[in-house]
Amino acid sequence: MKILCGAFLVLTVLLLYPAIAAGEGRVIRKEVTVSASLEEVWEAWTTNEGAETWFAPKTNIDPTVGGHYEMFFFPDKPYGWRGGEGLRVHSLIPMKSLAVTWSTPWEFGVLRSLRTIVFLRFEELGPTRVKVHFTQLGWGEGEQWDKLYGYFAEAWDIVLGRLKYRFANGPIDWDNPYRPTASLSVKE
């Protein structure tokens, strides 16, 4: 099983990375530098305890290929209305990269059942500095996809800004969540 998972990871990276690096198709790219160790940033992305301090008030993360990667932005609502339900870990290389499937908010109708891929690469800049390279790809064509792309181009600035804030100021207060104002776009 480990050999199969390892082969899947290598294949995923080989298939995804050239398209990401070349900028083929419509892609959202962002970068954020965080004042924390690589281990702390990795745990913030790959554990419930870590993600609930900055990403969403409630999560369901199983950091294994095929495992859950659910973000419940509205945890008190019924399943299907909480936010990122049904998302899965697509691939991961510990402390280096993470790829997950990503859905849309319910207000985007039929697009909610489709998935894009969020690919993260972690670059250690020093003992307490990590750059997170963010890429989202797999976009369709048409007016609804255009609106969705615009939505996520802005939404990821908020999410990644909260990651930076979390390590600079402490966990997000979900009763009054921090909302950053600066754009983190890179070569969109």
Residue 174 lies in a domain: no
Instruction: Quote the CA–CA distance of 20 and 53 in Å, as a whole number.
Output: 29
What is the domain range of residue 164? 2-169
pLDDT tens track for 93-136 = 999 999 999 999 888 888 988 999 999 999 999 999 999 999 99
- pTM metric for this prediction: 0.84
pLDDT above 90 covers what percent of the chain? 72
pLDDT tens track for 63-103 = 999 999 999 999 999 888 888 899 999 999 999 999 999 99
Residue 93 lies in a domain: yes
- Better pLDDT: 171 or 16: 171
Residue 183 lies in a domain: no
Residue 176 lies in a domain: no
Identify the CATH number of the domain in which residue 35 sits. 3.30.530.20
**Residue in this structure with the two tokens 């690096």, named with its chain if needed:** 21
Number of domains in the chain: 1
